[in-house]
Structure 1
Amino acid sequence: MVQFRRWLFISALVTSLPFMASAEELRHETQYRVALAGIPIARADFKTEVKDKQFTIRGDITSAGLADLVTSIDAKTDVSGTVGDNRLQATHYKLFYKSGKKERTYDVAYTNGNVTSNTITPEPKRPQSWIPLSDGDLHSVLDPISGMIFPITANLNLCNQTLPVFDGEMRMDLKLSPKGSHPFSTDGFKGKTIACGVRFTPKSGYKGTRKDYLYLAKSDGMEIWFAKADAMNVYAPVYVRIPTQYGTVTITAVKYGS
């Protein structure tokens, strides 16, 4: 259950913030609410700086409401990298995750999308059903934060792509498909979104008998809504819907803009 909660919290990190490169230094802050079956369970705050095609993202996620009655959860993330013409490319991704008294740190270095180092501290014990990572699983991958932000280009097919994501432990594919458009309003944004269906496929780096992953992999109810940020010329998520065995998790932007 701890690994699945961590994945949900990383999903909250996915709804980070929109930006593009500029000669000037850009600062941006976004805030999100995470709910289970409509009940608030976490909040997230992200701060980003961009200068001379270099970006950094710092995020804080904390459990709230009902979740605190079960266990307290805190996550802190740092991502840095370069802003390219078609994609944000991370060079370093770090996540500190604490659930109750258990703590773990994930540290990943990338070069041109390939993982060059990957450490987990403390090193977890693996069950016999563990599906290990292979060398091929760590080539041409995205981090779970900046990998979900898309520069607006003429040939952008936002909902017609498969995203190969590595979160420091699990390698997964997120296959996007078109699901129309929805209106969305929050502090800093009001307008239409692009809705994408998401098929979750765990590839490696997880317990093969995990019922929650198997449940999500069979579901066709996962969605991500992307909103356009005109000032930054990108699309970024403002709403995520994740069906689970315990109820539907939603991640909603309560602030989208500076």
Structure 2
Amino acid sequence: MGDAPARRFTAAYGLSFLNLPAGEASLVVERAGERYALELDAGLRGLAGFFFDGAGKATVAGSATRAGAVTATFRIDSRYGGKPIAVALDLAGGRVRSASVEPPPTPRADRVPVAPEDKVGVVDPLTMLTIPLGTAPLDVSLCDRRIPVFDGASRADLVLSRGSLVTVSEGAYRGPALDCRVRWVPISGHRSGGSNVRRMAANDDLRVRFAPILDGTLLLPLSITVATGWGTVRIEATRWGGAAPGPEAPAAKPGVTVRLPNAR
């Protein structure tokens, strides 16, 4: 990662639905100067692991400054339901130079076409979870941002707002954190008549809590909470850097892809 020494951070997350364990994930972050790399492995367990099977990994590399993160490459290689899924993105200056999704989305009459301008000024679905800080202090204004995201087949915006500073006193991380509300706004590539798209776009009860890592130069999600019509989905850190992990959980099936909703 260049001449600057790379710094490494690891975190583990647990996924729950209706307060029942449903999955787990591990995230590795490396940063050297303005260059960064992320690697995510995720898996389902419990009843979710019984009904769904998958394996895979998502990786990304790019650069990050106080002005924001810029993706260079993004890859997903996975298997879901016994079928391979592969996504490859290459970008330069926020502009998509090449994109491939295998298998491609099923053609539908109500699928909104992706215009050339929808692939400009975007980041990938993994980088969207990070907020570069530089030397700036943690501040509620960091929530006031709109993040354009392209996943290889669809474009959407994450709109963050209504920030508040909190102090976390229990769990894998203890210290200051930033709470933001999030809206998902579909732009193109989605099915305009898809029920999942309509529900996600109408959901105004999605919250993300960010905490600082790597000497406070980068924010990562400490927890993500999504209220649904069936109950609350929660992703919460179970290990944060060098913090001791909690009680050992049952082994998960590796690698279910984590990315933007895309009704196919």
For the criterion TM > 0.5, the same-fold answer is: yes
* Runs of at least 5 residues in structure 1 that lack an aligned partner in the other structure: 1-20
Segments of 4+ moved more than 6 angstroms: none
1:224 aligns with 2:194: no
The separation in 2 between residues aligned to 1:111 and 1:172, in whole angstroms, is 19
The separation in 1 between residues aligned to 2:76 and 2:188, in whole angstroms, is 19
The separation in 2 between residues aligned to 1:207 and 1:198, in whole angstroms, is 21
More displaced 10-residue stretch of structure 1: 111-120 or 123-132: 123-132
| Identity score, percent | 25
**1:195-248 residue CA offsets vs partner (Å, 9 max, x unmatched):** 111111111112222112211211210111111236242222111112233322
Residue matched to 2:131:
150
1:241 aligns with 2:220: no
Query: Are the equivalent residues in 1 in contact too, given 2:11–2:239 (CA < 8 A)?
Result: yes
The separation in 2 between residues aligned to 1:85 and 1:183, in whole angstroms, is 23
1:32 aligns with 2:13: yes
Q: TM-score, normalised by structure 1?
A: 0.83
Kindly tell me the number of residue pairs found equivalent between the two proteins: 237
Residue matched to 2:262:
none
Residue matched to 2:38:
57
Structure 1 residues 85 and 208: CA distance shift in structure 2, 3 A? same
Q: CA RMSD in A?
A: 2.2
The separation in 1 between residues aligned to 2:224 and 2:148, in whole angstroms, is 18
3-state SS of 1:77 partner: strand
Residue matched to 2:118:
137
Structure 1 residues 52 and 220: CA distance shift in structure 2, 3 A? closer
Query: Are the equivalent residues in 2 in contact too, given 1:89–1:147 (CA < 8 A)?
Result: no
**Equivalent in 174, 178, 198 of residue 190 of structure 1:** 174
Structure 1 residues 102 and 209: CA distance shift in structure 2, 3 A? farther
Structure 1 residues 257 and 243: CA distance shift in structure 2, 3 A? same
Structure 1 residues 83 and 137: CA distance shift in structure 2, 3 A? same
3-state SS of 1:177 partner: strand
1:120 aligns with 2:101: yes
Residue matched to 1:17:
none
Shift, 1:70, TM fit: 1.2
3-state SS of 2:117 partner: helix
* Runs of at least 5 residues in structure 2 that lack an aligned partner in the other structure: 243-264
**Equivalent in 77, 80, 83 of residue 96 of structure 1:** 77
Residue matched to 2:235:
251
The separation in 2 between residues aligned to 1:110 and 1:191, in whole angstroms, is 35
The separation in 2 between residues aligned to 1:135 and 1:41, in whole angstroms, is 38
